[in-house]
Structures are given as C-alpha cells and as structure tokens.
Amino acid sequence: MPIHTILLISYQVLIFVGLPLVLGGIVRKVRAWTQGRKGPQILQVYYEIRKYFKKEPVDNPNSGVFAEISPAIALYAAVMIWSIVIFEWAPFILIPFFLALYRFCFVSFAMESGTSFGGLGSGREILLSVMAEPTIILMILVAQSHIELSLTPVSALIGVLFLLLSFVAILAELSKPPFDDPRTHLELTMVHEAMILEASGRTMGYFELASQIKLAGLLSFLIKLALEHSKLFPAGEFGNLTKEFLVLPGALGLAVLLGFWEADSVRRKWTWVPEFMGLCFLAILILGTLVKLS
C-alpha cells in the first residue's frame, strides 16, 4: 500500500474518532470568551458523556419500546452520517435519509413519554426538518454534480453566497440560532432541549454523543462542499490529499465561527422560520443553476 494512502487513512481515522469530542467544546469555549467568561474546558463534552454512560437511565413510567431503542438508533444514524462525510463510502445523497432517521428517534423518544414539553419540542423539530432537509438535499445534488468554480469575481461571489446559504441550512438542521437557542431552557424558546428533558443517564449519553457527531459531520460536509467546487487544487492524487487534509482546520474554523455566532445571535419568531427557509431554498436553487450555467 502506498505511503500516501496509509497517511490518508490514518488521518481520516484520527478525525473520525477525535473531532466530535472537541468541536462542541470549542463552540462552548469561544461563546464563553465572546461573552467575557472563562467557559468550560474544551474536552468538557467528553467528560459529560463519560459521566452519563456511568449512570443507569430513569425511564418515564409511560414510556415503551421506542424510548429504549431510539437513543442507540439515533447514535447509529449520526455515526453513519459522519462516516459518509469522512470516508465517502456512499454518495452524499444518503445523508438526508440518516438525518430523517436521527430526527425520528428524537421525536419518538419525546412523544413516547407523553409530556407536554415533548409534544411542544417535537412539533417544532418537525417544522425545522420540513424546512431544512429539502434545502440540504438541494445542496447535495449541487455537490454531486462535480462542477468546479473558476476564480473569476462573478463565480467567486456565487460560490460564497451559495456556501453562506448552505451554512444557514445547516444552522437550522443543528437547531442553532436564529432557529433555536441552546443557551436557554425557556418554554418559548427551546426545541431540541424540550425533547430530551425526560432523558437521563446512559440514554442522555447516547443523545449527547449523537448530537456531537452530527455537529462534526455537517460542519465537515460544508467544508468538503466548499473544497469540491474550487480550482485552487491541482487534479490528481496530490490535489485530493490536500483537500482531505484541509477538512480538519476548516471544521475547527467553522466551530470557532459558530461559537461567535451563538454568542451574538438570538432566536427569531417561529412565524419567521418558514418564510426565511423558503427564501433560502429558492436562493440556493437559483445559485446552483447559475453555477451550472457558468
């Protein structure tokens, strides 16, 4: 086996194992620094997940089989998304299917307990899914078209706008501001948190680990989407290796940007979400068409 192939596989395995454990901590740390606080350690997410797995879950007396199996299936879906992004063993168009499975597990767990907060969070989560996932499918279709953007000013502007709108769609999929506010637990603002209020112990560990893996997967996918359509790298083995090695610094940079965004952004009204995501979908469709014609 060639030495560059061994290095690439080792690098991908290192990213696959380590990146999900630090990205969430980087987001928290940057958000705290921006707000003038010291913040938790970067590996605090890992420590919390390890603590969760040491405890037995306390199940709701009204829950059933979905509450028992959905955390593990959600983790499986997140790992599949992450492995597709890193190793590219399957086309990216499979990612929305695993995103739907991931979301179904969270919603089924929330609805199984029969609490009012679970129903509230599930309804909002499904609304975000309906708005975000068609846009992500469109992003992937453009990515799979293998179109490269030239370095002309018009093409560069189209590419930057396309990536900004793609970042907005990923914010919606991750339930980040302005679509959700992970910093609060108020009834009027929470989405993701409302669905896992009944989770504890090992169940909470599965959900938290799945969320961190999903965060790493979608941020890395956006980086690969940006690198796939540029002519900054030569064709051949060297260009492919260069693109792969830029995934790690790109994902870390997006995590820092996300930390600043969470510190300075606020959640918007729910009536604003369908209108904005609809405009985002149309803009990505138009930009994708312009990329094809350029």
What integer is the mean pLDDT of 210-219?
A: 94
61 pLDDT higher than 60: yes
Question: What sign has the CA pseudo-torsion 207, 212, 216, 222?
Answer: positive
Please tell me whether residue 231 adopts helix, strand or coil conformation. coil
**Distance of alpha carbon 226 from alpha carbon 200, whole angstroms:** 38
Report pLDDT for 115. Answer: 72
User: pLDDT (tens digit, 9 = 90+) per residue, 155-182?
Assistant: 777 778 888 888 988 988 888 888 877 6
Report pLDDT for 118. Answer: 74
Q: pLDDT confidence of 100, banded at 50, 70, 90? A: very high
Q: pLDDT confidence of 195, banded at 50, 70, 90? A: confident
Query: Residue 280 corresponds to which amino acid?
Result: C
Phi first, then psi, for residue 252 (nearest 5°) are -65, -40
Report pLDDT for 263. Answer: 85
117 pLDDT higher than 90: no
Percent of the chain with pLDDT over 90: 32
How many domains does the chain divide into?
A: 1
Go through 19-42 and write b for each residue having 16 or more CB atoms within 10 A of its CB, e for each that does not: bbbbbbbbbbbbbeeeeeeebeeb
Q: pLDDT confidence of 76, banded at 50, 70, 90? A: very high
- Mean pLDDT of the residues in the chain: 83
Is 236 or 229 the better-scoring residue by pLDDT?
A: 229
Report pLDDT for 159. Answer: 76
Task: Centre a 10 Å sphere on the Cβ of residue 94 and count the other Cβ atoms it contains.
Answer: 14
**Distance of alpha carbon 277 from alpha carbon 73, whole angstroms:** 28
What integer is the mean pLDDT of 70-81?
A: 95
What integer is the mean pLDDT of 30-36?
A: 89
What integer is the mean pLDDT of 187-207?
A: 80
1 pLDDT higher than 70: no
292 pLDDT higher than 60: no
Short-list 33, 55, 51, CA closest to 42: 33
Report pLDDT for 146. Answer: 56
221 pLDDT higher than 80: yes
User: pLDDT (tens digit, 9 = 90+) per residue, 128-157?
Assistant: 888 888 889 888 887 666 555 566 777 777
- Distances in whole angstroms, Cα of residue 119 to Cα of each of 75, 110, 269: 22, 7, 19
Report pLDDT for 6. Answer: 81
236 pLDDT higher than 60: no
Report pLDDT for 200. Answer: 85
Is 253 or 149 the better-scoring residue by pLDDT?
A: 253
Report pLDDT for 218. Answer: 94
Percent of the chain with pLDDT over 70: 87
Phi first, then psi, for residue 149 (nearest 5°) are -90, 135
Task: Supply the range of the domain harboring residue 51.
Answer: 3-293
Report pLDDT for 233. Answer: 60
In this predicted structure, which of 8-22, 90-104, 137-151 has the lowest mean pLDDT? 137-151
CB 199 within 8 A of CB 109: yes
